[in-house]
Amino acid sequence: MSRELLKKEALARMEILKLHKNAISAFRKHDKLLYSKMGRICFPHAPGNSLKVAGLYDTTSEMDEAVRVFEEKGDGWRLVYHVVHSSTEFGELFNFLYVDGNYQEEWKEDNRLLEHGMTFSYVVNNTYPDCSEFGTIGVENLSGGLIRKI
Protein backbone atom coordinates (compact mmCIF):
# COMPACT_ATOMS: atom_id res chain seq x y z
CA MET A 1 0.00 0.00 0.00
CA SER A 2 1.46 3.35 -0.96
CA ARG A 3 1.93 6.06 1.63
CA GLU A 4 0.19 8.45 -0.78
CA LEU A 5 -3.00 6.36 -0.72
CA LEU A 6 -2.90 6.11 3.09
CA LYS A 7 -2.35 9.87 3.30
CA LYS A 8 -5.25 10.59 0.94
CA GLU A 9 -7.55 8.53 3.18
CA ALA A 10 -6.12 10.18 6.32
CA LEU A 11 -6.85 13.65 4.91
CA ALA A 12 -10.41 12.59 4.08
CA ARG A 13 -10.86 11.44 7.69
CA MET A 14 -9.46 14.70 9.03
CA GLU A 15 -12.09 16.53 6.96
CA ILE A 16 -14.86 14.27 8.30
CA LEU A 17 -13.72 15.05 11.85
CA LYS A 18 -13.65 18.76 10.97
CA LEU A 19 -10.16 19.19 12.37
CA HIS A 20 -8.90 22.77 12.21
CA LYS A 21 -7.59 23.78 8.78
CA ASN A 22 -4.09 24.35 10.25
CA ALA A 23 -3.90 20.70 11.36
CA ILE A 24 -5.04 19.49 7.94
CA SER A 25 -2.68 21.82 6.09
CA ALA A 26 0.34 20.85 8.23
CA PHE A 27 -0.34 17.17 7.57
CA ARG A 28 -1.03 17.67 3.85
CA LYS A 29 1.95 19.91 3.08
CA HIS A 30 4.60 18.80 5.56
CA ASP A 31 3.49 15.40 6.98
CA LYS A 32 3.36 17.30 10.29
CA LEU A 33 1.38 15.55 12.99
CA LEU A 34 -0.44 17.61 15.64
CA TYR A 35 -2.18 16.50 18.79
CA SER A 36 -5.33 17.70 20.55
CA LYS A 37 -5.68 18.24 24.26
CA MET A 38 -8.66 19.45 26.25
CA GLY A 39 -8.45 22.77 28.02
CA ARG A 40 -10.76 25.44 29.39
CA ILE A 41 -11.27 29.11 28.78
CA CYS A 42 -12.33 30.85 31.97
CA PHE A 43 -14.69 33.80 32.16
CA PRO A 44 -14.43 34.91 35.80
CA HIS A 45 -17.53 37.10 35.82
CA ALA A 46 -19.86 34.94 33.72
CA PRO A 47 -22.36 32.29 34.85
CA GLY A 48 -20.90 28.83 34.38
CA ASN A 49 -17.59 30.70 34.02
CA SER A 50 -15.69 28.26 31.76
CA LEU A 51 -15.83 26.75 28.30
CA LYS A 52 -14.24 23.46 27.23
CA VAL A 53 -11.97 23.69 24.19
CA ALA A 54 -9.55 21.34 22.47
CA GLY A 55 -6.24 22.98 21.67
CA LEU A 56 -3.91 21.83 18.89
CA TYR A 57 -0.21 21.42 19.63
CA ASP A 58 2.97 20.15 18.00
CA THR A 59 3.59 16.54 18.99
CA THR A 60 6.24 15.93 21.63
CA SER A 61 9.35 13.87 20.94
CA GLU A 62 7.84 11.17 23.15
CA MET A 63 4.69 11.07 21.00
CA ASP A 64 6.74 11.11 17.78
CA GLU A 65 8.73 8.08 18.95
CA ALA A 66 5.56 6.18 19.95
CA VAL A 67 4.03 6.96 16.53
CA ARG A 68 7.20 5.83 14.73
CA VAL A 69 7.24 2.50 16.60
CA PHE A 70 3.51 1.95 15.98
CA GLU A 71 3.78 2.67 12.25
CA GLU A 72 6.90 0.49 11.87
CA LYS A 73 5.11 -2.45 13.51
CA GLY A 74 2.49 -2.08 10.76
CA ASP A 75 5.14 -2.72 8.06
CA GLY A 76 4.21 0.44 6.17
CA TRP A 77 0.48 -0.28 6.27
CA ARG A 78 -0.35 2.16 9.08
CA LEU A 79 -0.40 5.95 9.04
CA VAL A 80 -1.24 8.00 12.14
CA TYR A 81 -2.96 11.26 11.19
CA HIS A 82 -3.84 12.70 14.60
CA VAL A 83 -3.21 12.10 18.30
CA VAL A 84 -5.73 12.88 21.03
CA HIS A 85 -4.07 13.34 24.42
CA SER A 86 -6.06 12.31 27.51
CA SER A 87 -5.19 12.41 31.19
CA THR A 88 -7.27 9.82 33.03
CA GLU A 89 -7.30 7.80 36.23
CA PHE A 90 -5.86 4.99 34.06
CA GLY A 91 -2.84 7.10 33.08
CA GLU A 92 -1.67 9.49 30.41
CA LEU A 93 -3.09 8.30 27.07
CA PHE A 94 -2.02 8.97 23.49
CA ASN A 95 -5.01 7.99 21.32
CA PHE A 96 -3.70 7.35 17.79
CA LEU A 97 -6.17 7.99 14.99
CA TYR A 98 -4.78 6.12 12.01
CA VAL A 99 -5.45 4.54 8.65
CA ASP A 100 -4.73 0.81 8.30
CA GLY A 101 -3.97 -0.30 4.75
CA ASN A 102 -4.50 -3.95 5.70
CA TYR A 103 -8.22 -3.26 5.97
CA GLN A 104 -8.95 -1.04 2.98
CA GLU A 105 -12.27 -2.83 2.45
CA GLU A 106 -13.41 -1.41 5.83
CA TRP A 107 -12.55 2.24 5.12
CA LYS A 108 -16.07 3.14 4.02
CA GLU A 109 -17.54 1.80 7.27
CA ASP A 110 -14.74 3.44 9.28
CA ASN A 111 -15.66 6.79 7.74
CA ARG A 112 -19.35 6.27 8.44
CA LEU A 113 -18.53 5.71 12.12
CA LEU A 114 -16.29 8.81 12.13
CA GLU A 115 -19.31 10.88 11.09
CA HIS A 116 -20.86 9.79 14.40
CA GLY A 117 -17.75 10.50 16.47
CA MET A 118 -16.58 6.89 16.77
CA THR A 119 -13.25 5.52 15.57
CA PHE A 120 -11.04 2.48 15.93
CA SER A 121 -7.73 3.59 17.40
CA TYR A 122 -4.59 2.45 19.12
CA VAL A 123 -4.30 3.85 22.64
CA VAL A 124 -0.81 4.16 24.07
CA ASN A 125 -0.91 4.22 27.86
CA ASN A 126 2.19 6.25 28.61
CA THR A 127 1.88 5.65 32.38
CA TYR A 128 1.22 1.90 32.22
CA PRO A 129 2.57 0.72 28.82
CA ASP A 130 1.31 -2.84 29.33
CA CYS A 131 -2.23 -1.42 29.26
CA SER A 132 -1.86 -0.01 25.71
CA GLU A 133 -4.48 -1.49 23.38
CA PHE A 134 -6.53 -1.31 20.20
CA GLY A 135 -10.18 -0.36 20.54
CA THR A 136 -13.04 1.89 19.56
CA ILE A 137 -13.17 5.34 21.13
CA GLY A 138 -15.55 8.26 20.91
CA VAL A 139 -14.26 11.71 19.99
CA GLU A 140 -15.82 15.16 19.87
CA ASN A 141 -14.67 18.23 17.98
CA LEU A 142 -14.27 21.34 20.15
CA SER A 143 -12.93 24.40 18.33
CA GLY A 144 -11.17 22.39 15.61
CA GLY A 145 -9.42 19.99 17.99
CA LEU A 146 -10.64 16.69 19.41
CA ILE A 147 -11.32 15.34 22.87
CA ARG A 148 -11.90 11.73 23.78
CA LYS A 149 -15.41 11.12 25.10
CA ILE A 150 -15.38 7.36 25.70
Instruction: Indicate the pLDDT class of residue 25, thresholds 50, 70 and 90.
Output: very high
- Is the pLDDT assigned to residue 129 strictly greater than 80? yes
Cα 104–Cα 138–Cα 145 angle in degrees, nearest 5: 95
Strand partners, 18: none
Distance between CA atoms of 44 and 132, rounded to whole angstroms? 38
Domain count, the chain: 1
Residue 102, C-beta contacts closer than 8 angstroms, at least 6 positions apart:
1, 74, 77
From CA 15, how far away is CA 2, in angstroms rounded? 20
Helix spans in 19-87 (H): 21-30, 61-73
Instruction: Give the domain range for residue 87.
Output: 3-148
Say what the pLDDT of residue 110 is: 98
pLDDT band at 40 (very low <50, low <70, confident <90, very high): confident
More confident residue, 38 or 50: 38
52 close to 142: Cβ distance less than 8 angstroms: yes
Each residue's pLDDT tens digit, 59-73: 999 999 999 999 999
- Tell whether the model's pLDDT for residue 4 goes beyond 90: yes
Write down the pTM of the prediction.
Answer: 0.94
